Amino acid sequence: MSTMKGSSKNLKTAVEAYQWVKASYANAHRAKQEGRPVAWLMFGVPLEIIYTMGVSPLFPENYGTLCAAKRVGYKFCEAAEQDGYNKQLCSYARTVTGHTFHPEVLPDPPSGGLAKPDMLIAPTMICDLRQKWFEDVARRLDVPIFYIGLPDNDATWQTGLPDQYLLDLFVSETKDLIEFLEKTTQKKFNEADFLQRLAWANEAIDLRLEILEARKHVPAPMGSSDYFASIFPGMTMLGTKEAVDFYQRMLAEIKERAENNIGIVPEEKFRLMWSGIPIWFNLGLLNYPEPLGGVMCIEGNYQSLPRERSEDPYIDLAYRYFQKNGSIGVDSQVDLAKQFVQSYQIDGVILSYTQSCRPFYIFQAEVRNHLQDELGIPCLMLESDMADERAYSEGQVRTRMDAFLEVIMKQKGLK
């Protein structure tokens, strides 16, 4: 019998976050009914601008995670494969493609499904597939698409400030994006509103930095299950007052727990880091070590990191984009992993190797190599997929987790 299940959370705010997820899909449906524009976006689009222009945003990548968590994503994947999309392709893309062009597969999809877009916006960073995916959707649905043509951030650590030519491209593309939106929405860009939203976004990011700091506390006041449950506002709602309020509440809750030494388990015995994308159809894995006193207390790849600031709003946005952890180069990810292991006092790392996501698996072997060779940290490489549950062997995963946790406990003298 399957023991795959959702995760249990420790924070009230983590549980609350799901309301925002549902709301975003409902808002888009309402926008369609009321004739307001709906855009399909990806992470990396400057959201302040989207909200300023009154566009209702949808994040198909997130819909991939939602369908996976609801255990229906694979049906859409299958439909896409029957249309000729190779099963090696990103499972978010397969899920959404299957859902969009074969809604008959599941007439009652999660959250009422993805409202059809009036436009698509695809930043050309993180992975090649994003632009191919949106290009394909735009072609099939015959809707306008704007590519934000930004550098990939492949290079290893950028030190100091980004060079002028990088900033110039960023600013130029951002201004072109505004022009595109003015055209498609027939609205003028409201600079004052944008500046207010930029201030809110920066406030939310700063709050998330404080949260990151607060999580260093032993025992850990917040777990990875909380993090992934509450990732949505940080990735999709920057530029709204709601996001600021949300992270204020979250920070307060974490601080209170830290002050009172309320952890994830009654007695915290060992601390683990989750690297890579979570396995959305089995988030319960994030709680798996808890009966043994282990906590999954930090995630290696999704955090905001301190960034340079600028008075110029566009340069400020650019600095946020070019910040050091924006790089998905292998060396950067190795360095980040080492940093996190040390500052969070990590005893072991679980490396999620999600087969259909190249940028997020490509560094895992080297992260493992460096953590093991240089820091003597035990690592477990878990091969799976992030949203296609057909590429997952639960029995195998549990066996390997059990063996890994044995090693950790032996190392800590707990066995």
- Report the interface residues with other proteins, using CB under 8 A: 1-2, 74, 78, 81-90, 93, 124, 127-129, 131-133, 135-136, 139, 147, 149, 151-152, 154-156, 165-166, 168-169, 172-173, 176, 329-331, 353, 355, 358-359, 361-363, 365-366, 369, 389-393, 395
Residue 134 vs 344, nearer CB to other proteins: 134
d(CA 339, CA 276): 15
Spatial separation of the C-alpha atoms in residues 336 and 192, rounded to whole Å: 36
Query: What b-and-e string marks burial along 109-120, b requiring 16 or more CB atoms within 10 Å of the CB?
Result: bbbebbbebbbb
Q: Which is nearer to other proteins, 15 or 129 (CB)?
A: 129
SS3 348: strand
Nearer to other proteins, 115 or 181 (CB): 181
Nearer to other proteins, 15 or 362 (CB): 362
> What minimum distance in Å lies between the beta carbon of 138 and other proteins?
10
> What is the amino acid identity at position 116?
K
Q: How far is the CB of 108 from other proteins (least distance, A)?
A: 17
For other proteins, give the closer residue by CB, 14 or 90: 90
On whether the CB atoms of residues 235 and 23 are closer than 8 A, the answer is no
Confirm if 122 and 134 have CB atoms less than 8 A apart.
yes
- Do 170 and 150 meet the contact criterion of CB atoms below 8 Å apart? yes
Smallest separation (angstroms) from other proteins to the CB of 208: 27
Least distance (Å) between residue 176 CB and other proteins: 7
What the block records as the tokens of 312 is: 């110029």
By C-beta, is 152 or 308 nearer to other proteins? 152
Q: Is 123 within 8 Å of 130 (Cβ atoms)?
A: yes
Distance of closest approach, residue 397 Cβ to other proteins, in angstroms: 12
Q: Find, among 9, 53, 27, 12, the residue nearest to 296 by Cα.
A: 9
* DSSP letter, residue 350: E
CB of 3 to other proteins, least distance (A): 10
